[in-house]
């Protein structure tokens, strides 16, 4: 996909991924209940997502049907990678702690995290260095 998905576009994609295919009228009905956007705003978001290659549109009679062209989990993983690639490596751990603290996780998610953390602990460094400016250290918050 060419450009990153914006926060508003994520709302549209979540509906599209959940339903698999959705008309513009259905999308408007769902999002107006959820976030109270105007139909023109939603149509603009749909058009942008088609331009970005995230959605495909097909005309069926008088309706436009939208279908995801990117998979949900890989797209979310890419967005997370882009975010964490922009953070100081020294602060990634604290940011992950914050995310995990706020998230609702299933027992399976927690077990997988515990297993992964146990494996990573075996080779983890005592401290992660700052990677912001070569030769300098940033202050830890």
Instruction: Please choose, from the candidates 78, 77, 11, 81, the residue with its C-alpha nearest in 3D space to the C-alpha of residue 49.
Output: 11
CA 75 to chain centre: 6
pLDDT (tens digit per residue) in 68-115: 999 999 999 999 999 999 999 889 999 999 999 999 999 999 999 999
Cα dihedral across residues 51, 57, 58, 63: positive or negative: negative
Crossing angle of the two packed helices 24-35 and 39-51, in degrees rounded to 10? 120
pLDDT (tens digit per residue) in 47-64: 999 999 999 999 999 999
In the predicted model, is pLDDT for residue 16 greater than 80? yes
pLDDT on residue 114: 96
Q: Which range (33-42, 86-95, 128-137) has the least confidence?
A: 128-137
In the predicted model, is pLDDT for residue 17 greater than 70? yes
pLDDT on residue 130: 86
Yes or no: say if 85 and 78 are a contact pair by the CB < 8 Å rule.
no
pLDDT on residue 1: 57
In the predicted model, is pLDDT for residue 43 greater than 70? yes
């Amino acid at each position: 996909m060419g450009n990153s998905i914006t926060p508003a576009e994520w709302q549209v994609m979540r509906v599209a991924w959940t339903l698999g295919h959705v008309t513009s009228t259905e999308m408007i009905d769902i999002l107006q209940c959820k976030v109270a956007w105007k139909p023109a705003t939603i149509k603009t978001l749909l058009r942008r997502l088609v331009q970005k290659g995230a959605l495909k549109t097909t005309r069926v009679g008088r309706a436009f049907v939208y279908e995801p062209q990117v998979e949900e989990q890989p797209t979310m993983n890419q967005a997370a990678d882009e975010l964490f690639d922009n953070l100081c490596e020294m602060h990634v751990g604290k940011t992950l702690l914050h995310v995990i603290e706020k998230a609702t996780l299933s027992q399976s998610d927690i077990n997988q995290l515990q297993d992964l953390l146990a494996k990573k602990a075996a080779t983890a460094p005592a401290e992660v260095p700052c990677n912001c400016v070569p030769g300098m250290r940033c202050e830890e918050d």
